Amino acid sequence: MRLTVCLLLLAGTSLAATSTGGAGTDSVTLGPAKFESVLPPAPGKRAVALASFRLDRRPVTNAEFLAFVREHPRWRRDRIPRLFADAQYLSHWQGADRLGESALPAQPVTRVSWFAAKAYCESRGARLATWYEWEYAAAAGPAVADARRDPAWRQTILNWYARPSSKPLAAVGQESANYYGLQDLHGLVWEWVLDFNALLISNDSREQGGANRLKFCGEGALSTADRDNYAVLMRIAYLSALEANYTTGNLGFRCALEAS
């Protein structure tokens, strides 16, 4: 896949052909599964049932997103309405339809909003992964499906936070694959999920399960079950800080699809 991207770049042709189809070969089938989320679906209930789904092996790259933007010019940074992306949208690209030096083709695309990520996946006949799907896929270590209790695995994830983000992002697909053959779920970029605005975490994390019940109808703010799983909690904190048109230099995405 990456080889193809390079060859096409050398040839200087349109990259439209490189984007993987909705059910492309560069995705992996997971589930159906029952698993325990750090976000209990309801009070007293921890198990989440997941239908079978397909998930991209790697985050979407600059090259792939460029092809999308060329095909769907309304998602160019000079045409997109503010409602759908803030002013930093694709601002590291050299031009509205050119990558340039600070956005290498094989790097994960970042500075994309939820709307843009969603539209990209839909253009492939796919969709963004849901939080539970993402969490399930990302719970895997290199050799086991659920590495969440492994202190070494947790520390590897935490080490990412120790690396300052001033350095350029690596290309996708450099890290070794996890149990399912998925790459870069940790340690490269944050990723949008379809239901990012379903994570009803209070803005003040210490309020969990606390007094502010009126603010959130239903069961109140989510309380997190697995409080020492900091690596995942930080991701939830991150996602809950976002609005749909936000973009940041460390935030990318990958697509998912119902398994047929």
Structure tokens at 183: 């790459």
- The neighbouring-strand residues paired with 36 are 47
Binding residues for another protein, total number by CB under 8 A? 64
Helix (H, G, I), strand (E, B) or coil at 27: strand
- By beta-carbon proximity to another protein, the closer residue of 233 and 259 is 233
58 forms part of the interface with another protein (CB under 8 A): no
Burial 61-74 (b: 16+ CB within 10 A, else e): bbbbbbbbbbeeee
Site map for another protein, 73-102, x if CB under 8 A?
Answer: --------xxxx-x-x--------------
Site track 184-223 with another protein (rule: CB under 8 A), x = hit: ------x---xx-xxxxxxxxxxx----x-xxxxxxx-x-
Asked whether 51 and 31 are in contact (CB, 8 A), the reply is yes
Residue 18 and residue 5: Cα distance in Å, rounded? Answer: 7
Work out the end-to-end distance of the chain between its first and last CA atoms, rounded to an integer number of angstroms: 23
Look at strands 251-252 and 190-191 and give their pairing: parallel
Q: Which of residues 93-152 bind another protein (CB under 8 A)?
A: 114-115, 151
Considering beta carbons, is residue 97 or 219 the nearer one to another protein? 219
- Which residues make up the interface to another protein (CB under 8 A)? 41-42, 45, 81-84, 86, 88, 114-115, 151, 154-155, 158-159, 161-166, 190, 194-195, 197-207, 212, 214-220, 222, 224, 228, 230, 233-234, 236-238, 240-250
